[in-house]
Copies of this chain bind each other. A is one copy, B any other.
Amino acid sequence: MKTLVVGANGQIGKHLVSFIQDSDGIEAKAMIRKQEQASFFENLGAETVLTDLENDDIDTITKAAEGVDAIVFTAGSGPHTGKDKTIMVDLDGAVKTIEAAKAAGVKRYVMVSSFDTTRQAIQDAPESFAPYVAAKHYADEWLKATDLDYTIVHPGGLTNDKGIGTVEAATEVDRGEIPREDVAKVLLETLKNDATIGKEFQIVTGTTPVEEAVKSV
């Protein structure tokens, strides 16, 4: 199984490509924006494709997606970038990759979302954070309205701590943090586990090994 990792040069993306390349039966194609980002992935033995999520159109992203079996969206402007990037990357960038998946005939799509992207979460968010939650909400809604084999993963507060390999995963868990490395582990297990298709779940640091936690959702 070949998986296109969108936002591969981000921290979750780098961990994910690395985990994929270390796994049997799955290989990564890293979607990156700049040629100088390629060597990291080439050193892992992963294919790369130069595509600009913000500025390229659906046709170009479709070409990047051709021949893969799954797409994982790990890109993100983050909640603290300009709000123009929020709508152009977190919402429109995501929708373009979803449409590219459809156009390229890629059925499997795994979305890295925000912890809570419900309507209520937009309403309850602090004013500075609400646009990011809204952007992720509409991207998730767009995905759920397709007939792709989607999974939506909602991580808690992301940290750069080293992963510990154990998490809590369920439709709803108490708010908490999680290392980006552990998010990447969850994404790999999600890709390997078709029982996660059509589901969305929250993840935070916990005590259950990732493989078991993903099986339980």
Q: A: which residues have CB within 8 A of B?
A: 57-58, 82-84, 86-88, 91-92, 95, 119, 122-123, 127-128, 130-131, 134-135, 138, 145
Known: A83-B83, A84-B130. 9 other contacts (CB 8 A): A83-B86, A84-B127, A84-B128, A84-B131, A86-B87, A87-B134, A87-B135, A88-B134, A91-B138
Instruction: Please determine whether B131 and A87 come into contact, CB atoms closer than 8 angstroms.
Output: yes
- The residues of B that contact A82 with a CB separation of less than 8 Å are 83
Copies of the protein in its oligomer: 2
- The residues of B that contact A123 with a CB separation of less than 8 Å are 57
Interface SS, A side = helix
- The residues of B that contact A92 with a CB separation of less than 8 Å are 122, 134
A83 to B122, CA, bound (A): 16
A127 to B135, CA, bound (A): 18
- From residue A188, how far is it (CB to closest CB) to chain B in Å? 31
- The residues of B that contact A84 with a CB separation of less than 8 Å are 83, 86, 127-128, 130-131
- The residues of B that contact A91 with a CB separation of less than 8 Å are 87, 134, 138
- The residues of B that contact A58 with a CB separation of less than 8 Å are 119
Show 26 A/B contacts (Cβ-Cβ < 8 Å), sorted by A: A57-B123, A58-B119, A82-B83, A83-B83, A83-B84, A83-B86, A83-B87, A83-B131, A84-B86, A84-B127, A84-B128, A84-B131, A86-B87, A87-B91, A87-B131, A87-B134, A87-B135, A88-B130, A88-B131, A88-B134, A91-B134, A91-B138, A92-B134, A95-B138, A138-B138, A145-B145
- From residue A95, how far is it (CB to closest CB) to chain B in Å? 8
- From residue A118, how far is it (CB to closest CB) to chain B in Å? 12
Chain B residue at minimal CB-CB distance from A56: B123
Interface centre among A84, A88, A122, A145 (most CB of B within 10 A): A84
A119 to B130, CA, bound (A): 24
- From residue A111, how far is it (CB to closest CB) to chain B in Å? 16
A42 to B127, CA, bound (A): 32
A134 to B84, CA, bound (A): 10
Chain B residue at minimal CB-CB distance from A124: B57
